[in-house]
Structure 1
């Protein structure tokens, strides 16, 4: 087998992932696999006669590559086949093939460590080019050796998997607990914060993808015949064709300024105030960062926002507040500048001029003012240029801590940012559900507002917000089978003060039933065991 001569020297190019479906992306890794995969020479005997192939894998243990290709209406012989490889690798990252009888975890760890140490080209020289069975090597990267594809296709898949593994971040073993995260906050001075819709939901602003409550699900529940796909609401071609579709629903996601901002926004503002915020990359379009008082120079709105609006015809930009009333009332706002210019162009009517007939179609030929559109990045539009230049030229190189809050990191190119930062930089993840396709050092699961409040308390900081009380207590628990770096964080209901207890005595209360008494006793015991102030979670010295 011959290793490809043209190997990527940089991670995935973020800019090549702009707002396009994965199957249409042309990332450097995919380009490598497509252009160079065929240069591998097949070794059929080694690939088919190895002992590992005789052990048939469970048909349900791993997705079949040909099934992925069929789902994407792709043929492996066509130029776009790399999308099927990417989709397949996404799935095996979630469900990797495992066979301890052929290659145990120590073997896999050694191979992956060698890849990191030697680099891609030397790794291939030492393995595949030195006679190692390619299908056996694939086990180290989660690929089923019995996957039903020809050897050439398998080698292309293996090449892509190796490149992806080389650039994928690995967890740093020295960081694991809430205490570690608090210590990192204290000592870091250039903190990169990536935020998503989860930091605004406590204000009643829906996220987009949550089942049942997300904006896209709500659109589907409406059963509107004019919306084929929920994402059409944010399609730029659809907007230009019929802006009423967007404006009939935009009020659902327009923030109510009178509600202020969340404690999580307050946490980011605190980092800014303390001189610790490198940059906040937000995927949100609500512009609550501005309401929270975060320095505008420290905020990159990856998908734009309602802060400003622009005319689709003359490009005139205005303050977004000027069209808020139209959005809330489901009206399509027109450009005032266009209207003014059109008015000036109209010829002065003479009093003797002939009045047009009722059936005249002259009005249909009159130019119309442009439609105002909030400066949200729709599907089909490019992300702001400063997103790429700021991140790749400055932030990815300078940051000393990455915190991701309230996003599942499923939308490129933001989803690829953590892997682009140097791997020695610690990464902390805060959200409701754990994440697996990106390796974080610490994952703190719970309501974002409660997690950041617990972090600040542990760091000895005061998070000033009406929703945050200085004497709040939190419980930290782990789920059965969870790794020792994934923690559940929740606020403990505060016990009433003595004066509050005295007042409560004036109101008769119903006696709890026996099961309720047992439940209360159990809950109190559990809480006492996991309070932050207890000895259950000792502070770990990072130095």
Structure 2
């Protein structure tokens, strides 16, 4: 029997999980999964990353993550790299929930748009996760494609500098192995659509605006009889259009806690989360990342980079106009297509 605080359709899903008839959960996650880990999302009106970028005078906020703009002007990307780098971020309760689902034997697969790798930090197996936008785990030179040492990458990020290839005679810009706008998604994404999506008996979408194609189309492609659960601050996509949809509007941690409570898993979830946080904190100390409280804030990183760019380029306003004239129209068309 449902309670006033629990949607009836969620009660049905919880009952199905308890009965063992739901066994293959497909999960799609976005930046909202990591906000309580200290990594801001992108599109929240006041706290999101895009809302904070004006000091950098980008042609468009999304240009920060476009490969064309990065090749021309990588400084803005690395301005926010320290504040957004997952080296000192710990898994959220929602990340731990993914790991708990795997332990219970009901997790089919996770498709994440995040590049922070916190699913793995929470204990989710690598073969259960597709990072469609890559990860911060490795990096290479854009010019000669040579791998770049992790230690030097960390030093550059902590200093707020653009890492430069150390191969003799190269001097190219180093880029983390993340997928930017204008780059192709990994081939494994097609396998998800072709083989994993049809198997799913429950779709859980967490912390995403569903504004970046083709990932945003996944919820529409799941079978009409498959329950879909959205955990997000607002309704997105076509959620609510199907009678069996469940909308848990709010933070991801609150949403997974409600599900875990209904399943009787809440204490186990909290314990798993504590273990994951402690494990990641040990790794962060061993690797030399500062505690997030000790590092500069995102606003401070952006302000510092804006000043450095102004001093280095001399005529900041003129440079901005030049960039908008040179790349603006091109980026406008590409970004409309990509987003």
Q: TM-score scaled by structure 1?
A: 0.46
2:251 maps to 447
**Which of 170, 180, 185 matches 2:17?**
185
Matches within 5 A, 1:388-407: 388=190, 390-407=191-208
Structure 2 CA distance for partners of 1:236 and 1:326, relative to 1, 3 Å = same
Deviation track 1:253-292 (CA, whole Å, cap 9, x = no partner) reads: 21243x4211100000111122211110011111111211
Bigger CA radius of gyration: 1
1:504 maps to none
Deviation track 1:178-200 (CA, whole Å, cap 9, x = no partner) reads: 32232243331111000111111
**Which of 263, 270, 280 matches 1:464?**
270
**3-state DSSP of counterpart to 1:373:** strand
2:71 maps to 240
**Which of 35, 57, 76 matches 1:201?**
35
Structure 1 distance, partners of 2:237, 2:28, is 17
1:532 maps to none
Alignment pair present for 1:231 and 2:62: yes
2:219 maps to 418
Matches within 5 A, 1:293-308: 293-308=123-138
1:382 maps to 184
Structure 1 distance, partners of 2:251, 2:263, is 18
Structure 1 distance, partners of 2:76, 2:140, is 18
How far off its partner does 1:335 sit? Answer: 2.8
Contact 2:202–2:227, Cα closer than 8 Å, also in 1: yes
Contact 1:182–1:456, Cα closer than 8 Å, also in 2: no
2:231 maps to 430
Alignment pair present for 1:217 and 2:47: no
Structure 2 CA distance for partners of 1:177 and 1:398, relative to 1, 3 Å = closer
Indicate the structure with greater helix content: 2
Unmatched runs of 5 consecutive residues or more in structure 1: 1-174, 343-366, 469-543
How far off its partner does 1:447 sit? Answer: 1.8
How far off its partner does 1:298 sit? Answer: 0.6
Structure 2 CA distance for partners of 1:318 and 1:423, relative to 1, 3 Å = farther
Contact 2:231–2:247, Cα closer than 8 Å, also in 1: yes
Larger displacement relative to structure 2 (304-313 or 175-184): 175-184
Number of aligned residues: 261
How far off its partner does 1:215 sit? Answer: 0.5
Unmatched runs of 5 consecutive residues or more in structure 2: 1-6, 275-339
Contact 1:406–1:431, Cα closer than 8 Å, also in 2: yes
Contact 2:65–2:180, Cα closer than 8 Å, also in 1: yes
Contact 1:306–1:376, Cα closer than 8 Å, also in 2: yes
Contact 1:306–1:320, Cα closer than 8 Å, also in 2: no
Structure 1 distance, partners of 2:117, 2:198, is 26
Structure 2 CA distance for partners of 1:320 and 1:231, relative to 1, 3 Å = farther
Structure 2 CA distance for partners of 1:436 and 1:313, relative to 1, 3 Å = closer
Q: TM-score scaled by structure 2?
A: 0.71
Structure 2 CA distance for partners of 1:449 and 1:371, relative to 1, 3 Å = same
Matches within 5 A, 1:27-46: none
Structure 2 CA distance for partners of 1:249 and 1:305, relative to 1, 3 Å = same
**Relative contact order (C-alpha < 8 Å, sep 6+): which is higher?**
2
Contact 1:196–1:282, Cα closer than 8 Å, also in 2: yes
